[in-house]
Amino acid sequence: MNQVTTIFRRELRGYFTTPLAYVFIVIFLVLAAVFTFQVGGFLERGQADLQPFFRWHPWLYLVLIPAISMRLWAEERSSGSIELLMTLPITLWQAVVGKFLAAWVFAGIALLLTFPIWITVNYLGHPDNGAIVAAYVGSFLMAGGFLAIGTCLSAATRNQVVAFVTAAMVGFVFLLAGFPLVLDFVRGVLPQAIVDAIASLSFLTHFEAISKGVIDLRDIVYFAALIVSWLTATALVLDMKKAE
């Protein structure tokens, strides 16, 4: 556990020693505000909730989370520092978990900095704060899912641009699986059991369920299983890449 904590602190500190952290946070906050107030019509709706805010999180993460994950391992491999990291008295799994947790906490910090929007809706009305807390939890879990995918794909290449593009593409597939237009199409050609299975793989399906204020164990298990699976794949990829 001490080794994971060491890697976690090293990586989290590294984010704030470069402009990347501040650029990411500013872009995330600006886009969240634009989509909430301008595109989502937050003030015009006349409803005390944050649906216009959370509705756009999957699409924001689709673009912004790969920008975090692309450097996790691709940068280490391209610079050759991964060899130094592997000589430390830590296991490959500890390095993977430590780097992932640092990136996830960083994304969580950006998410927490949106609290003025939460304060605004409480100032203007009387929202269901329990549902808002649940939506924040769901958003954080979804960010972890996107990040786990990006972590694995970053480990598979030395090129950060390639890592970014492939992570965005795979993330889009996980979003598309729950998109109503896609489900309506496959519902017409496939049995309902298969349609339900496709929907169950989507970030949208599970995030929307949580954002309604109901934290179902099945949704938590989905994100946990997704994260563990992709992190396990990351460790396997790095192990296979050792000889390169």
Length of the chain: 244
Q: What is the pTM of this model?
A: 0.88
Confidence of residue 139 (pLDDT cuts 50, 70, 90): very high
Write the pLDDT tens digit of every residue in 149-189.
999 998 888 888 888 999 999 898 888 877 777 777 767 77
Residue 84: the pLDDT is 66
Under DSSP, the state recorded for 18 is S
Q: Please, what sign has the CA dihedral across residues 98, 176, 164, 243?
A: positive
DSSP per residue, 73-106: HHHHHHHTHHHHHHHSSS-HHHHHHHHHHHHHHH
Write the pLDDT tens digit of every residue in 14-63.
888 878 788 889 999 999 888 888 776 766 666 767 888 888 899 999 98
Write the pLDDT tens digit of every residue in 83-100.
666 666 778 888 889 899
What is the rounded distance in angstroms from the CA atom of residue 7 to the CA atom of residue 24? 21
Half-sphere exposure (Cβ direction) of 227: Cα atoms closer than 13 Å: 18
The helix or strand, by DSSP H or E, that contains position 147, with its residue range, turns out to be: helix 129-155
**Average pLDDT of the chain, as a whole number:** 83
Segment 96-122 mean pLDDT: 91
- Return the number of other C-beta atoms located less than 10 Å from residue 61's C-beta: 26
What is the rounded distance in angstroms from the CA atom of residue 51 to the CA atom of residue 135? 9
Segment 61-74 mean pLDDT: 86
Extract the tokens encoding 187.
């519902």
Could you state, in order of their start, the residue ranges of all structural domains in the chain? Answer: 2-240
Residue 45: the pLDDT is 67
Select from 21, 47, 18 the least CA-distant residue to 113.
Answer: 21
Residue 244 has pLDDT above 60, yes or no: no
What is the rounded distance in angstroms from the CA atom of residue 33 to the CA atom of residue 18? 24
Residue 232 has pLDDT above 90, yes or no: yes
Cα angle 87-107-78, degrees, rounded to a multiple of 5: 35
What is the rounded distance in angstroms from the CA atom of residue 164 to the CA atom of residue 150? 7
Residue 110: the pLDDT is 92
Residue 203 has pLDDT above 70, yes or no: yes
Max CA separation in the chain (angstroms)? 60
